Amino acid sequence: MDDLSPQQETMAPVSGNPSKPAARKRGIGPVLGILVVGMIVAGTMYWLDTRNFQTTDDAFVDAYATQVAPRVTGQVTTLLFADNQHVVAGQKLLLIDPADFQAKLDQAKAQQASAQASLEQARAQVAVQQANVDQATANVRVADADLLQARQDYDRLRAIAPAAVSRQQIDAATAAFHSAEAKLDASRQTVSAARAQVRSVQAQVLAAEASLNQAAANTRVAELQLSYCTLVAPVAGIVTHRTVSAGNYVNSGQPLFALVQDGRWVTANFKETQLADLHAGQDVDLVFDAVPSVRFHGTVDSFQAGTGSVFSALPAENATGNYVKIVQRLPVKILIDDDRLKDRPLMPGMSVTPSVRVH
């Protein structure tokens, strides 16, 4: 057995090689099996975890933005803010040349002063006319007393025997009696005229008061117009998107810059097929593209009363014959209640991925 021919020596090693690949295959098989099982286990765990969340990549940071425009027309003299500066409510932001509005205010004040003087004059006339009424009333009492005396004299002479008095005396008493009656009637007419004059000047007082009220209103309008030359921040926020510079002539209602308010939240456009398990108060994990390595906390706040297509500039006409059903998206408001974001520069429009825990 030890003496082999050269050919047998050459062939002997070849006859043992096929067993080594088979052994290697038998060693790889268990490894592949373990990997497959591991992948199945990992996939199952991932599915079990993700089924507890509803997520979307159609979400962004949102905030209220106020377009600031002047209420008056004029030339801008001064800007009191820098681009992207944070301002507080009531802070002065821009000044418009007030010269024209100051002149109108001065004119309105002069008219108000004139109306006030006219009112005082009308009130004085009321006092004068009331004094005339009092005097005329006193004259009526005097005339009434004179009439009483004249009547008594007349009656006394008529009661005396005709032979005891002269005809001239009787005529004089009769004339005095009728004259007293006429004077009393005249005095009464004077009282009526004086009272009518009082009513006339009282009407003038009312007209003067109305003129004064109108002048005072014009003054207040002029004061408001003058105050509008100073634009102030209506709310706290960041001034941005400025389209005005000092020296520009601006019109009333022309947007000059935007004021992004301080509050921030997330608007997530979930598919309608994801909404079955979503409700207000659920916890949300938020991953912002600006801070991808950190998960922040949020809470589902509310659901918009209509899909995004309903409020679009060109809403879908589903009643047409070429209708194609597509899955709609509903904006969901998510509040950010994580204090770690206070120092983060979150701006409207920045992307975020929310994951709502539904189970």
Q: Across the strands, what pairs with 329?
A: 271
Same domain, 135 and 177: yes
Residue 189, Cα to own-chain centre: how many angstroms?
63
Q: Across the strands, what pairs with 288?
A: 291, 352
* Residues 250, 74 contacting (CB under 8 angstroms): yes
Evaluate whether residue 234 is within a structural domain: yes
Same domain, 217 and 130: yes
Same domain, 106 and 221: yes
Same domain, 174 and 189: yes
Residue 160 carries which DSSP code? S
Q: Across the strands, what pairs with 55?
A: 355
C-alpha–C-alpha distance, residues 24 and 29, integer Å: 9
Evaluate whether residue 47 is within a structural domain: no
Looking at residue 139, which CATH number applies to its domain?
1.10.287
Look at the block and give the residue holding tokens 């004119």.
107
Same domain, 59 and 69: no
pLDDT at 116: 93
**SS3 of 95, please?**
strand
pTM for this prediction: 0.67
Same domain, 211 and 123: yes
Evaluate whether residue 1 is within a structural domain: no
**Which residue range is the domain that position 249 belongs to?**
65-96+230-259
pLDDT at 6: 46
C-alpha–C-alpha distance, residues 49 and 62, integer Å: 29
Looking at residue 303, which CATH number applies to its domain?
2.40.30.170
Evaluate whether residue 346 is within a structural domain: yes
Same domain, 113 and 222: yes
Count of domains forming the chain = 3
C-alpha–C-alpha distance, residues 107 and 222, integer Å: 9
Evaluate whether residue 44 is within a structural domain: no
pLDDT at 135: 75
Evaluate whether residue 305 is within a structural domain: yes
Evaluate whether residue 27 is within a structural domain: no
The rounded radius of gyration (Å) of the Cα atoms in the chain is 51
Same domain, 87 and 180: no
pLDDT at 65: 95
* 130's tokens: 């009331």
Return per-residue pLDDT of the chain as tens, 359 residues. Answer: 444 444 444 444 444 455 555 555 556 767 677 777 677 766 666 555 556 789 999 999 999 999 999 999 999 999 999 999 999 999 999 999 999 999 999 999 999 999 999 998 888 887 777 777 777 777 767 767 766 776 776 666 666 656 666 666 666 666 776 777 777 777 777 777 778 777 888 888 898 899 999 999 999 999 999 999 999 999 999 999 999 999 999 999 999 999 999 989 999 999 999 999 899 999 999 999 998 888 999 999 999 999 988 888 888 777 777 778 889 999 999 999 988 887 788 899 999 999 998 87
C-alpha–C-alpha distance, residues 294 and 300, integer Å: 19
Same domain, 107 and 216: yes
Same domain, 84 and 139: no
Same domain, 88 and 130: no
Q: Which residues contact 146 (CB under 8 A, 6 or more apart)?
A: 180, 183, 184
Q: Across the strands, what pairs with 302?
A: 333
Same domain, 305 and 273: yes
Looking at residue 247, which CATH number applies to its domain?
2.40.50.100
C-alpha–C-alpha distance, residues 253 and 72, integer Å: 8
Evaluate whether residue 304 is within a structural domain: yes
Instruction: Label each residue of 239-259 as H, E or C.
Output: EECCCCCCCCEECCCCCCEEE
- Torsion 111-112-115-116 (CA) sign: negative
C-alpha–C-alpha distance, residues 238 and 84, integer Å: 6
Buried b (16+ CB within 10 A) or exposed e, 138-168: ebbeebeebbeebeebbeebeeeeeeeeeee
